[in-house]
Amino acid sequence: MKVHVAGFGSWGIAFSNLLAKQNADITILTTSFEDPQIFNDTKSHPLFNNLTLHKNIKASSKDQDLGKPDLLVWAVPTKFTTQWLDKDFIKRYSNVDILVLSKGLSPEGFDPIGNWLNRYLKNDIYILSGPNFATEIIHGMPAATVIAGEKRPTSIEKILKTSSLRTYYSNDILGVSLGGILKNVYAIGSGMVDGANLGKSARAAMISRALVEMSRVFEHFNANKETLWGLAGLGDLILTATGKDSKNWQLGNQIAKGLSLEKALGNLTGESEGIRTLKGLIDLSEKTNVDIPLACAINNVIHKEHTIKDAVKDLLQRPSKKTEIE
């Protein structure tokens, strides 16, 4: 299988290495910020310094016409979406299946990037989402994930069949996409809980109530709530909210220890999609009255409107609900 990978970050590199081990022919597409020749000479990446990547991987400028691949893997940070999707790129990859790894908002309002691409492009679009850290996937550690699409991704499932990443199919493109973006917001909050040393009980409460808030967003968009209890919802939330490899957890952790948002973002080795999603989620709540007190508390702490102590106090003193899941 001939595969092109858009995105030179940790997830794009890790997934490229995974596919290369299955004998796929991989070309990673680069922008003016990366030097493909250096990568091709060294087969190394600055985020994985001690690892030599598979020989089946090469890099080339995204502006080159390399012919049509069997699959385009989309791992572009969402803030760069429009820079990639110019007319030439769209024309070059028309009628090519696209597997979306990115987990963030589209350029047009509160819409997950995978769901948006599914409408914006005429290609067959598939969304991969689940509890998967690039730092583990690149070393072949066992994991499971979900691939969502309007039809079953037979060729993708076939190449991953003998890999260390087990895949499950879903036809719920919106739900799988929503799970992948919403958990980033609450991972920031979980990082704050850990950074402020509030304890494991507080973290468990944060994760559990985060799931309730995510379900309210699912309900607002008429997404399938069953998706929320699977790998693309609960599974991804647990990993991202408890794993120190999570960029969003790292961000919240640093903010809780007194760093400004700008300084904390500058310390990260990759993108925190949770910040853009949080802003979109707050805007959505203000327009629709979707009840998301945890997300609002996270936002208030980030923007120095509340201390963590005050935010916790406000959350604990909220009026009681008739039932837990309300």
Handedness of CA 184, 189, 191, 194 (dihedral sign): negative
Q: Report d(CA 165, CA 8) in Å as an integer.
A: 20
Backbone angle region of 61, left / alpha / beta, with phi > 0 → left and psi within -120 to 50 → alpha: beta
CA angle 209, 144, 139 (to 5 degrees): 115
- The three-state secondary structure class of 148 is strand
Which amino acid is present at 38?
I
Is 227:170 a contact under the CB 8 Å cutoff? Answer: yes
Q: Determine whether 183 is an active site residue.
A: yes
Residue type, 6: A
Asked if residues 268 and 251 have their Cβ atoms less than 8 Å apart, the reply is yes
Which of 62, 183, 263, 321 is an active site residue? 183
Q: In sequence order, which residues have a C-beta less than 8 Å from that of residue 189 and are 6 or more positions away?
A: 206, 210, 241, 252, 294, 295, 297, 298
User: Residue 305's CB: how many other CB atoms inside 10 A?
Assistant: 12
Distance, in Å, from the CA atom of 58 to the CA atom of 305, rounded to the nearest integer, reads 47
Strands 71-74 and 2-6: parallel
Q: Residue 61's closest CA among 36, 88, 97?
A: 36
Strand partners, 166: 144
Of the candidates 319, 129, 315, the one whose C-alpha atom is nearest the C-alpha of residue 206 is 315
**CA 143 – CA 63 distance, rounded (Å):** 34
User: What are residue 167's phi and psi, to 5 degrees?
Assistant: -115, 145
As given in the structure block, the two tokens for residue 275 are 């910040």
Report the catalytic residues. Answer: 183
